[in-house]
Amino acid sequence: MTIILYDFELSGNCYKLRLLMSILGVRYDIIPVDFYPGRQHKSDWFLKLNPLGQLPVLVDDGLVLRDSGAILAYLARKYDPSGLWFPTEPAQLSEVLQWHAFADDITATASAARLALGMFYDFDLPKVQAGAHRLFRLMDEHLWFGEREGRDWLCAAPHPTTADIACFPYVMLSEEGGISRMDYPAIRRWTDRVRRIPGFMVMSGIFPAGRAAAE
């Protein structure tokens, strides 16, 4: 029984899965897909795996899965015995899914800006940058009040969930899309907390945070 991740090293969406599997201690193999400049995610062989032509794809024991948010939910339900990473209690589940959707909005803006600047994609750069700032403002406000209300993570639960994993990568990579996080101090503190989750791993452009102060 093996897990295979069809992966592009510089993809934040692929990194979401590497990150959660690293935290959960799940072993997996990687098949590299040359997203840029090779555009292999639009090649015939890849479209047979995912007709949408999008990364990542994860194959677990023959089961083919697509969409990073859906795969995060799958991995958490299947490989996290604590059940904390993707809760099933209705209110909590809905809250996590709201942030999964928010993460997709971050992908559509912050990641698009990064693709435009770094991989020459044809996006309306000022528009996607402004869109990312709009989302980051909401997120910073949510996290700033969270700090005062005793909430460290995006969801109300007293522990991180896949919501945090889903939103984290393209927030951290935003500067590659010309989107400064200087105006979002609460987001910057939250990224420290995510980077201190045991089992955290880095990717290109995402640096470690160093240790927390001793309690």
Task: List the x/- string, 100-139, binding to another protein by CB under 8 A.
Answer: ----------------------------------------
29 forms part of the interface with another protein (CB under 8 A): no
144 forms part of the interface with another protein (CB under 8 A): yes
Among 31, 64, 91, 145, interactor with another protein by CB under 8 A: 145
Largest alpha-carbon pair distance within the chain?
54
Footprint (CB under 8 A) of another protein, residues 167-186: 180-183, 185
Find, among 6, 7, 10, 3, the residue nearest to 25 by Cα. Answer: 3
Among 37, 44, 149, 198, interactor with another protein by CB under 8 A: 149
Task: Please give the structure tokens belonging to residue 211.
Answer: 């240790």
Q: 66 vs 189, which CB is nearer to another protein?
A: 189
Query: Across the beta sheet with 63-66, what order do the strands follow?
Result: 29-32, 3-7, 57-60, 63-66
Contact window for another protein (CB under 8 A) among 72-80, 88-96, 104-112, 144-152: 144-152
Name the residue with tokens 């992908």.
Answer: 107
Task: Give yes or no for a contact between 79 and 162, defined as CB atoms under 8 angstroms apart.
Answer: no
Task: Give yes or no for a contact between 144 and 186, defined as CB atoms under 8 angstroms apart.
Answer: yes
Q: 51 vs 210, which CB is nearer to another protein?
A: 210
Binding site for another protein (CB under 8 A): 141, 144-145, 147-149, 180-183, 185, 188-189, 192, 207-213
